[in-house]
Amino acid sequence: MGKATCLAVVIDNDIVHSQEGLKEKDRIDKLPGQPHVNFSQYGGYITADISAGRALYYYFVESHPSKEKLSLLLWLDGGPGCSSLLGAVEELGPFRVNSDGKTLYKNRYSWNHDISSIPFYILLL
């Protein structure tokens, strides 16, 4: 039987520095084929190991503006040979891919109806 793995994220306010202005750099105005939305989304890389050239890609989707003070979810998905982007598109993300393979439609079951989410896509290069 496999062992359970636990990830704990601890934020120490004494060592977290201002990130003012950085989020606009990662703002995604619109994905190709995306319909109009009333929430913000961001994507970018977080350096994990500079010397090894490793980074984590994240895609952050804010909750709908009508919702205030909602929880934040960190979603870790995927596995060897399987991108977590699939989970963002086929499961919890705000969009699904139309049958034409080129355009998106809104996912009515998206988790950002109730929470803001950060699906982390771990890229081991």
Q: Could you report the per-residue pLDDT of 7-38, keeping only the tens digit for each?
A: 444 444 444 455 566 678 899 999 999 999 98
pLDDT tier at 67, thresholds 50, 70, 90: low
Give the closest residue to 63 by CA, choosing from 86, 46, 40: 40
Torsion angles phi and psi, residue 91, rounded to 5: -125, -80
Tell me if the pTM is above 0.75: no
Domains of the chain in start order, with CATH, are 26-123 (3.40.50.1820)
